Chains A and B, each alone.
Chain A
Amino acid sequence: MLEPLAEEYVQADHDDPALLFTAAYNAFSGPVLGYLKARGVDDPEAVTQDVFLALFPKLDTLHGGLQGAKTLLFTIAHARLVDHYRKRERTPDSTPYEPDFDARRSPSAEEQAFGGASGLGVTALLEDLAEDYREVLALRVVADLSVEETADIMGKSQGAVKQLQRRALGALKKRALLRNGTS
Chain B
Amino acid sequence: MSENTAPRRGNDQQVIDSLLADAGLEDNSGLRTELLELRSLADTAPVPSDAVRALMAGGGAAETRQIPTAEGLSASAAPTAVLTVAAPADEMAPADELAARRRKKRRAAIAGLAVAVSLAGGATAAAASEGGIPGAFEHLGAAIGSVVSQLTPGSGNAPQPTVPTGTTPEQGPVRQESEPAVVPGQASPSPAAPSGPAGTVHTDPHPATPGNQSQGPKGPSHSEPGKGVLPTAPSLPVTPPEIDPSKLDPSKLEPSDLPVPVPTQLIPTLPSDPKAPAK
| A and B together in one complex | yes
Is residue B55 contacting chain A, with contact meaning CB distance below 8 A?
yes
What is the distance, in angstroms, from B89's C-beta to the closest C-beta of chain A? 6
What is the distance, in angstroms, from A6's C-beta to the closest C-beta of chain B? 5
Partner of B44, one of A30, A52, A80: A30
Residue of B nearest to A173 (CB): B31
Residue of B nearest to A48 (CB): B46
Asked if B56 and A22 make an inter-chain contact with CB atoms under 8 angstroms apart, the answer reads yes
**What chain A residues lie within 8 Å of B69 (beta carbons)?**
4, 6-7, 26-27
What is the distance, in angstroms, from B218's C-beta to the closest C-beta of chain A? 79
Asked if A119 and B22 make an inter-chain contact with CB atoms under 8 angstroms apart, the answer reads no
Residue of B nearest to A53 (CB): B94
Q: How far is the CA of A16 from the CA of B86 in the complex (A)?
A: 13
Is residue B23 contacting chain A, with contact meaning CB distance below 8 A?
yes
Asked if A176 and B31 make an inter-chain contact with CB atoms under 8 angstroms apart, the answer reads yes
Query: Which B residues from 18 to 48 make CB contacts under 8 A with A?
Result: 19-20, 22-25, 28, 30-31, 34-35, 37-46, 48
Is residue A8 contacting chain B, with contact meaning CB distance below 8 A?
yes
What is the distance, in angstroms, from A183's C-beta to the closest C-beta of chain B? 12
What is the distance, in angstroms, from A30's C-beta to the closest C-beta of chain B? 4
Is residue B96 contacting chain A, with contact meaning CB distance below 8 A?
yes
Q: How far is the CA of A141 from the CA of B38 in the complex (A)?
A: 7
Asked if B52 and A5 make an inter-chain contact with CB atoms under 8 angstroms apart, the answer reads no
Which of B70-78, B147-155, B183-191 is found at the contact surface with chain A? Answer: B70-78
Partner of B42, one of A7, A34, A162, A180: A34
Asked if A53 and B57 make an inter-chain contact with CB atoms under 8 angstroms apart, the answer reads no
Asked if A76 and B40 make an inter-chain contact with CB atoms under 8 angstroms apart, the answer reads no
Interface size class of B (residues with CB under 8 A): 35 or more
What's the tally of chain A residues with a CB closer than 8 Å to chain B?
60
Q: Digit string of A43-66 for contact with B (CB within 8 Å is 1, else 0)?
A: 001001110111011100000000
Partner of A83, one of B38, B89, B98: B98
Asked if B40 and A5 make an inter-chain contact with CB atoms under 8 angstroms apart, the answer reads no
Known: A29-B48, A53-B94, A141-B35. A162 touches B22 (CB 8 A): yes
Question: Which residues of A does B touch, CB under 8 Å?
Answer: 1, 3-8, 10, 12, 16, 18-19, 21-22, 25-27, 29-31, 33-35, 37-38, 45, 48-50, 52-54, 56-58, 76, 79-80, 83, 116, 119, 122-123, 125-126, 137, 140-144, 162, 165-166, 169-170, 172-173, 176, 180
Task: Offer 17 A-B interface pairs, CB within 8 angstroms, sorted by A.
Answer: A18-B89, A25-B56, A26-B45, A26-B80, A29-B45, A30-B6, A34-B41, A37-B41, A45-B3, A52-B55, A122-B40, A125-B34, A125-B37, A125-B38, A141-B16, A142-B39, A173-B28
